[in-house]
């Protein structure tokens, strides 16, 4: 597999960082035994270069929000507040105003494969786009963090986690 990626001789130390490296895909240049060397040069034939795609880690202040931020978000129609607790928890404890309940187990389906029409019928709000700001919350912030990661994996770019979640909200509103 590697012989189709590289065009020129490479150092084995640079290949060690690649997860898919196997010794069967390369051959040492020359006839000397370089088994004990850490810088064996390898020859790859007729390769097509590829670009590595990666994302930078988001700064903490961009992905975590606090009570004051959420309080202002409750009146902003452009921000979607999603409660990822189970419906029974929402009935028992209450919810943040203007939030919609999408249990954690349904977040990926709702944001990923559900059509816009189905989403609107089921949750009574328009389906968020990849650019829409979404704030997830749960009871303490753990499940909402998982929902946030699911949304990021689905391509949503502006998702946040209310780290204090319901317990923080309740303590500051009562």
The answer to whether the beta carbons of residues 82 and 137 sit under 8 Å apart is: yes
DSSP state of 56: P
Query: For residue 87, what are the CA distances in angstroms to 41, 78, 103, 106, 174?
Result: 60, 24, 7, 12, 22
Which of 138, 147, 151, 163 is catalytic? The answer is: 138
DSSP state of 83: E
3-class DSSP state of 27: strand
The question of whether 138 is a catalytic residue gets the answer: yes
Q: In what order do the strands lie in the sheet with 159-162?
A: 64-65, 159-162, 133-137, 79-83, 99-101
Q: Kindly list the catalytic residues.
A: 138
């Amino acid at each position: 597999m590697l012989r189709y990626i590289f065009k020129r001789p490479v150092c084995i130390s640079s290949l060690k960082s690649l997860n898919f490296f196997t010794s069967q895909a390369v051959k040492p240049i020359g006839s000397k035994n370089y088994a004990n060397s850490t810088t064996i040069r390898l020859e790859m034939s007729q390769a097509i270069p590829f670009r590595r795609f990666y994302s930078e880690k988001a700064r903490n202040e961009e992905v975590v929000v606090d009570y004051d931020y959420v309080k202002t978000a409750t009146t902003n129609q452009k921000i979607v507040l999603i409660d990822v607790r189970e419906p029974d928890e929402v009935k028992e404890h209450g919810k943040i105003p203007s939030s919609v309940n999408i249990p954690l187990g349904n977040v990926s389906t709702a944001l990923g494969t559900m059509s816009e029409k189905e989403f609107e019928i089921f949750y009574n709000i328009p389906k968020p786009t990849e650019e829409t700001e979404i704030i997830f919350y749960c009871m303490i912030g753990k499940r909402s963090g998982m929902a946030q990661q699911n949304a990021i994996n689905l391509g949503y770019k502006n998702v946040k986690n209310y780290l204090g979640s319901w317990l923080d909200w309740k303590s500051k509103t009562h």
